[in-house]
Copies of this chain bind each other. A is one copy, B any other.
Amino acid sequence: MPQPTDGPRARYREQVRTEVHDHAWAQIAEAGASGLSLKAIAQQMGMTAPALYRYFASRDDLLTELVLAAYRDLAETVEAAAARTGDPTRQVRAVSGALRVWAVQAPQRYLLIYGTPVPGYTAPPEATELAQRIFAPLQSALAARLTGARRERRSFDLTVRLWTRLHGVLSLEAAGHFDTMDVEPATLFAHELASVLES
């Protein structure tokens, strides 16, 4: 895997890599992570499968890139939402709202990160750091609303609680489990958010 860092060839490489990512996400969106196939992507791009090995060392390598890209994208989304205001309560609301939009917009991408683990695939260590980066803005906003002793620990517990509650709604919504029930996911999500802010 050669890698010139600039020039027209480098530009072209980046273009192809991006196109592969796009097709990969489309595949994941409709068949989940286990449906990801280099051969199918190559076919969709009008190429042969071996050509893709110029760009990715293996299928799992591509999957790792996608997982990390998802983590990074969510981290940036969450950070941007938190940066839009200085008020801690508004920050929590903004981050939660951004999280929901991000999850509902591409359910399979959300599930790739927080759903059932892909069998036989383990995420790289970098994923853990990124997960913490996603966690951080929520925690610092919640911490800013607290005073008194053991503030750090209490804000951590509170963030975990908020996070699991929101995930409870989002994962069931993404998996379609509310479809056969008389439940409005958006309303439920708002209530769960409120329940933590009020505690």
Contacts and interface: CB of A to CB of B under 8 A. Distances in A.
Interface of A: 30-32, 34-35, 111, 114-117, 119-120, 128, 131, 156, 160-161, 164-169, 171-172, 174-177, 180-183, 188, 191-192, 195, 199
Contacts of A32: 116-117, 119
Interface residue SS majority, chain A: helix
Contacts of A160: 181, 183, 188
A109 to B, nearest CB: 12
22 contacts: A30-B119, A31-B119, A32-B116, A34-B119, A35-B119, A114-B172, A115-B115, A115-B175, A116-B116, A116-B175, A117-B175, A160-B183, A161-B191, A164-B188, A164-B192, A165-B168, A167-B168, A168-B168, A168-B171, A171-B171, A195-B195, A195-B199
Question: How many copies of the shown chain assemble into the complex?
Answer: 2
B31 A177 contact: no
Nearest to A191: B161
A31 B192 CA distance: 33
Contacts of A166: 168
Interface centre among A177, A183, A188, A199 (most CB of B within 10 A): A177
Given A115-B116, A161-B188, 19 more contacts: A32-B117, A32-B119, A34-B119, A114-B177, A115-B115, A116-B174, A117-B175, A128-B180, A131-B180, A160-B181, A160-B183, A160-B188, A164-B168, A164-B169, A164-B188, A165-B168, A165-B192, A168-B171, A171-B171
A165 B193 CA distance: 12
A16 B111 CA distance: 36
Contacts of A156: 182
Contacts of A172: 114, 164, 167
A128 B114 CA distance: 24
A175 B114 contact: yes
A156 to B, nearest CB: 8
